[in-house]
A = this chain, B = another copy of it.
Amino acid sequence: MYNNKIMKRANELDKITPMEVDFSKWYTDVVKNGNLIAYGPTKGSLIFKPNSLGIWEMIQKELNKIFKLKGVQNVYMPLLIPESLFNLEKEHIAGFNPELATVTQVGDKVLSEKLFIRPTSEVLFADLFKRSINSYNDLPIIYNQWANVVRWEKTTNPFLRSREFLWQEGHTCHISTKEARRFTREMINTYSKFLKNYLAIPTIVGRKTPREKFSGACSTYTIEAMMKDGKALQSGTSHYLAQNFSKPYEIKFKNKDNKDDFVYQTSWGITTRLIGALIMTHGDNRGIIIPPRIAPTQIDILEIFANKDPNVSKIAKKIYIDLGRKFRVNLDKSDRNPGFKASNSEIQGVPLRVEIGPRDLLNNEVTIVRRDTLEKEVVKIEKLKERITFILKDIHDNLYNKAKQRLDERTVFVTNYDEFKKEIANNKFVITPFCCSDEAEEIIQEETGATARCIPIKQNIKPEHSSLCIIPDCQSKTKRFVIFAKAY
């Protein structure tokens, strides 16, 4: 283990504004300095650098495995949607129209029909399903695609709201409303579990209010996560589309009674905004902390003073090969100073680093440092693999537990509107009885800045809880308890 003077940090830390000083500046500093993004040449466009794309590739890999067990088949749909095809579902086009990037010409030639860059692909899948499905024997169809989509947002924020983002969108067709509704809920629960088990992010599963649901859906389920500043981040959605697309797009099938019916559909997705969720759930003033199960690099191996002892490089290589059999490992054998190397590993959020230097090697030891707690520990080389296996799991659990504790502590139940306003101002998640009308939601948003995040599936209503809508002018009876919060 090396003392602080030798291990003095490079200037990296100075690049990141402390989150207590300015949370949004902290966030921007973290994404710019963690090998995560560069800005693209047009406003709101983003370059995913190796560290952020690496996280996304890991999410893809792990989610694909889970999808496969559910019978999901991956496909790839075209980027461009003809205007006439988009216009068939009225609520859908109304919701997306202002954000549609529109191709009108090729070279110098003006096209006879406008083409929209997909903001989502319901209408493309609808058109495919119409041509693919004949009878109940062809159902269910469970398709998914990993793709880029474009939505021309007015305000942008890296990962959270960019004009182009990456996502997966699942699209399914079923023989009955029951089966489709069940699948909608199954997918939102799948996302919730995935975030818990892979991203170490706890979420609240719920249904969106009518005002917040997806344009074209019958109902929208969501998982809502709490960021370190108390704001909510919608982290995945699953929509029950009913026959809202199958009717205008004529996706018919012969049911078991040999009668025509329209299919019942779902769609569901997660996006690269999950990378933003990771940063704001786990990050600290040294940068992002990547949970081990989706970290592109799980372990950084740092050679320390390799120029003073040829043994360092030799042992480092051996450890690199050995750990590489079980973990995703990177070896830094550059001749940069140890402080710079450590700091570089930290700012990129690598969960664990192994420092290999001459002094430790005298005792057949190396030093390991966890990114989440920054705790150092000297470990015998022969115990290294076993110890790392334990610590990586412990890092995951620690990240999850801290986030869960925060979510629990900062979620409050309120039945009085003044108290509601106070708690929203404190950046809490506030659960409250609510009538779910659009008008009431608008009032709350205007007066507090909060939006309805969801109607949690687990309502946990105690008998003493009021069931009158929290808005003083409303006070209608309601059975629904809704979570409000400021949100990204």
Residue positions of A touching B, CB distance < 8 A? 38, 40-42, 45-50, 53-54, 56-57, 73-82, 85, 97-107, 115, 117, 124, 127-128, 131-132, 143, 147-148, 150, 152, 164, 166
B79 lies within 8 A of A150 (CB): yes
A41 lies within 8 A of B99 (CB): no
What are 11 pairs between A and B in contact, CB < 8 Å?
Answer: A40-B124, A42-B78, A42-B82, A42-B115, A46-B78, A47-B75, A53-B75, A53-B76, A80-B150, A97-B107, A102-B106
Nearest-neighbour CB distance to chain B for A226, whole angstroms, equals 28
Q: With A and B bound together, what is the CA distance between A171 and B455 in angstroms? A: 47
Nearest-neighbour CB distance to chain B for A392, whole angstroms, equals 21
For residue A48, which residues in chain B have a CB less than 8 angstroms away from its CB?
75-77
B38 lies within 8 A of A78 (CB): no
A107 lies within 8 A of B103 (CB): no
A41 lies within 8 A of B78 (CB): yes
Count chain B CB atoms within 10 A of each CB in A100, A102, A124 and give the residue with the most: A102
In the complex, residue of chain B having the shortest beta-carbon distance to the beta carbon of A152: B106
A78 lies within 8 A of B166 (CB): no
Q: With A and B bound together, what is the CA distance between A131 and B164 in angstroms? A: 21
A38 lies within 8 A of B101 (CB): no
B47 lies within 8 A of A78 (CB): yes
Closest 5 CB pairs of A and B: A48-B76, A40-B78, A45-B78, A50-B73, A98-B107
Q: With A and B bound together, what is the CA distance between A219 and B50 in angstroms? A: 28
A106 lies within 8 A of B115 (CB): no
For residue A75, which residues in chain B have a CB less than 8 angstroms away from its CB?
47-50, 53
For residue A49, which residues in chain B have a CB less than 8 angstroms away from its CB?
75
Given known A-B contacts A75-B47, A76-B53, A166-B76, A105 and B104 have beta carbons under 8 A apart: yes
Given known A-B contacts A41-B78, A41-B81, A117-B79, A104 and B104 have beta carbons under 8 A apart: yes
Given known A-B contacts A47-B128, A128-B47, A40 and B105 have beta carbons under 8 A apart: no
Given known A-B contacts A80-B164, A148-B148, A152-B107, A74 and B101 have beta carbons under 8 A apart: no
Q: With A and B bound together, what is the CA distance between A85 and B115 in angstroms? A: 23
B131 lies within 8 A of A41 (CB): no
B100 lies within 8 A of A45 (CB): no
Q: With A and B bound together, what is the CA distance between A125 and B45 in angstroms? A: 14
For A102, give its contact among B41, B81, B104 (CB under 8 Å). Answer: B104
Nearest-neighbour CB distance to chain B for A400, whole angstroms, equals 28
A103 lies within 8 A of B117 (CB): yes
Nearest-neighbour CB distance to chain B for A94, whole angstroms, equals 11
In the complex, residue of chain B having the shortest beta-carbon distance to the beta carbon of A132: B38
A41 lies within 8 A of B127 (CB): yes
Count chain B CB atoms within 10 A of each CB in A41, A73, A81, A143 and give the residue with the most: A41
B104 lies within 8 A of A99 (CB): no
Q: With A and B bound together, what is the CA distance between A128 and B76 in angstroms? A: 28
In the complex, residue of chain B having the shortest beta-carbon distance to the beta carbon of A40: B78
Nearest-neighbour CB distance to chain B for A45, whole angstroms, equals 4
Given known contacts A79-B164, A100-B106, A101-B106, what 8 new A-B pairs fall within 8 Å (CB)? Answer: A41-B81, A41-B124, A45-B78, A47-B78, A48-B76, A48-B77, A50-B73, A56-B76
In the complex, residue of chain B having the shortest beta-carbon distance to the beta carbon of A101: B103
For A50, give its contact among B74, B101, B107, B128 (CB under 8 Å). Answer: B74
In the complex, residue of chain B having the shortest beta-carbon distance to the beta carbon of A96: B107
Q: With A and B bound together, what is the CA distance between A128 and B115 in angstroms? A: 29
Q: With A and B bound together, what is the CA distance between A41 and B122 in angstroms? A: 13
For residue A97, which residues in chain B have a CB less than 8 angstroms away from its CB?
107
Given known A-B contacts A41-B85, A41-B127, A107-B152, A80 and B53 have beta carbons under 8 A apart: no
Given known A-B contacts A74-B53, A98-B107, A102-B106, A148 and B42 have beta carbons under 8 A apart: no
For residue A150, which residues in chain B have a CB less than 8 angstroms away from its CB?
79-80
For residue A38, which residues in chain B have a CB less than 8 angstroms away from its CB?
128, 131-132
